[in-house]
Amino acid sequence: MSIKVLLDESEIPRQWYNLAADIKLQPPLGPDGKPLTPESLAAVFPMNLIEQEMSTDRWIDIPEEILDILYRWRPSPLRRAVYLERALKTPAKIFYKDESVSPAGSHKPNTAVAQAWYNKQFGTKVLTTETGAGQWGSALSFACSLLGLECKVFMVRISFDQKPFRKVMMETWGGKCYASPSTETEIGSKFLEKYPDTPGSLGIAISEAVEAAVSDKQGTTKYTLGSVLNHVMLHQTIIGLEAKKQLAKLGIKKPDVIIGCVGGGSNFAGISFPFIHDKINGEQIEIIPVEPASCPTITRGLFTYDFGDSAGMTPLLLMYTLGHNFIPEPIHAGGLRYHGMAPLVSQAAREGLVTPRSIHQLECYKAAIQWARTEGGIVAPETSHAIAATIQEALKAKEEGKEKVILMNLSGHGHMDLLGYSRYLAGDLKDYELPQEDIEKAEAELKDLPKPA
Ligand SMILES: Cc1ncc(COP(=O)(O)O)c(C=O)c1O
């Protein structure tokens, strides 16, 4: 029995898979309600990434220079969670892609490196971004340091306070990190005036990072997003494409169940999109995005056009959303506290290609502890959502007496997230059910925005 399946550098996938070739998306809209043109995004993103964002080519070559950076940790291992299987006494075979082995500790560098590289090609000097849990900010700082770019990160205040060492990681790679809302931007200052004690949100931090980019009159500062957009999903598909090759080495043609946690959707897209391609072509696979019950974007949100940020600076995207003014409870899975969902993941859910699930944080921490005491690793609180669903599915397979193959994405380690573990172990955490009134409030706020055709 193989517990680790490794690929040689020569076996790394050389093209990304673009789901936009296989499912039809409605276009993002500008402030005038008309479909966005590439030029209208040029203040924020470099044209080479805008082209990728709008591309419907099925396969896109990965430049050699990007692969040369990724070889530091890719191809990432596919591991079999036999120790957890034994503890659960399940007939299921549980495999997981271990994205925690990247320098920053998560899947995020897969797109950070690609985005920094395309920006560098374009002539960008400074990159701005937001970060929730700090994983994305660390990943971008790492990528910028390798490519000689400056990096400015707006980190959601609650995470900034809970995870001070993330800031140190960013600074070690040469990045600058500000607690958001900050006084660095007009939008941040306004939020702080109105809500001085706000825990912040990804939506506000995005607004700040976009403002910091577009206010550079020389045009050499650009904005990067760590999730949600099509090109980010694209860069992450290397995860699922590697997993396919690794499963094939074991003689497994396809998993029965695929599981990933979802914040903006990118690690889930990474593991699942290459298999959604197979599902569209007739394979039977259950594909489960898992979100926090306190921020239930796909399971309870609205499918409509909404802004990606709180201040309404981004284009309108057709997606599942809890409304751009939604400020989620300060749960420890900071990277899952986002009001929206990637348009590609949203459309896949709309078409029934994926079956979303929400889980409360206590069940997730319980699962993460079981994982740590069987498999060994201490996972990020975001990842614990995928683990909780994996355990649910493994126990279901036991009940049904089926030898299912489950593939999960282990999106990151939790070495910087120990405060959450300590609060859970001390019994200080509780679950939070989002009241229906909050969804109704979002519905009322979104009613005047354009509706899908
Ligand atoms: C470890 C980890 N997993 C998952 C996520 C959620 O993001 P996404 O849905 O884009 O993968 C984050 C975001 O910060 C993260 O740090």
Q: Determine contact, residues 275/237, Cβ cutoff 8 Å.
A: no
Is residue 330 over pLDDT 80? no
Using a 6 Å CB cutoff, which residues line ligand 1? 106, 132-133, 135-136, 227, 261-268, 335-336, 380, 382-383, 411-412
pLDDT tens figures, 22-55: 999 999 999 888 999 999 999 999 999 999 999 9
Q: Report the length, in residues, of the chain.
A: 453
Nearest ligand 1 atom, CA 334: 14
Residues 76 and 216 in one domain: no
Question: Which residue has tokens 């929206």?
Answer: 340
Boundary residue ending a domain (196, 227, 258): 227
How would DSSP label each residue in 160-228? HHH-HHHHHHHHHTT-EEEEES-SSSHHHHHHHHH-TT----HHHHHHHHHHHHHT-TTS-EEE--SSS
The whole-angstrom separation of Cα 141 and Cα 136 is 8
From 129-133, 185-189, 285-289, 427-431, the region with the lowest mean pLDDT: 129-133
Q: Determine contact, residues 178/155, Cβ cutoff 8 Å.
A: yes
What is the CATH number for 166?
3.40.50.1100
Conformation bin of residue 40: beta by default, left when phi > 0, alpha when psi is -120 to 50: alpha
**Would 21 be classed as within a structural domain?**
yes
Is residue 334 over pLDDT 80? no
Q: Which of 142, 267, 295 to mutate to test the pocket of ligand 1 (most atoms within 8 A of CB)?
A: 267
In angstroms, what is the span from residue 26 Cα to ligand 1's centroid?
A: 25
- Domains contained in the chain, number: 2
In angstroms, what is the span from residue 318 Cα to ligand 1's centroid?
A: 21
Pairing of strands 15-17, 59-61: antiparallel
Boundary residue ending a domain (227, 254, 279): 227
Residues 95 and 240 in one domain: yes
Query: What's the pLDDT at 202?
Result: 85
Query: What's the pLDDT at 390?
Result: 99
Residues 285 and 352 in one domain: yes
Please state the rounded mean pLDDT for residues 414-421.
Answer: 93
Residues 221 and 235 in one domain: no
Nearest ligand 1 atom, CA 226: 10
Residues 24 and 94 in one domain: no
Boundary residue ending a domain (227, 250, 279): 227
Q: Determine contact, residues 118/94, Cβ cutoff 8 Å.
A: no
In angstroms, what is the span from residue 381 Cα to ligand 1's centroid?
A: 9
Residues 201 and 259 in one domain: no
In angstroms, what is the span from residue 268 Cα to ligand 1's centroid?
A: 9
Q: Determine contact, residues 338/319, Cβ cutoff 8 Å.
A: no
**Would 8 be classed as within a structural domain?**
no
**Would 339 be classed as within a structural domain?**
yes
In angstroms, what is the span from residue 171 Cα to ligand 1's centroid?
A: 21
From 113-127, 198-212, 245-259, 342-356, the region with the lowest mean pLDDT: 198-212
Residues 56 and 74 in one domain: no
* Cβ density class 430-440: b for 16+ within 10 Å, e for less: eebebeeeebe
Query: What's the pLDDT at 328?
Result: 79
Q: Taking every pair of C-alpha atoms in the chain, what is the biggest distance, in angstroms?
A: 63
**Would 374 be classed as within a structural domain?**
yes
Is residue 309 over pLDDT 90? no
pLDDT tens figures, 257-287: 999 999 999 999 999 999 999 999 999 999 9
Query: What's the pLDDT at 209?
Result: 96
- What's the pTM? 0.96
In angstroms, what is the span from residue 331 Cα to ligand 1's centroid?
A: 14
Query: What's the pLDDT at 1?
Result: 81
Is residue 411 over pLDDT 90? yes
Query: Which residue segment(s) compose the domain that 47 sits in?
Result: 17-62+109-227
Residues 271 and 200 in one domain: no
pLDDT tens figures, 185-223: 999 999 999 999 999 988 899 999 999 999 998 989 999
**Would 223 be classed as within a structural domain?**
yes
Q: Determine contact, residues 385/356, Cβ cutoff 8 Å.
A: no
Residues 247 and 115 in one domain: no
**Would 10 be classed as within a structural domain?**
no
The whole-angstrom separation of Cα 216 and Cα 211 is 9
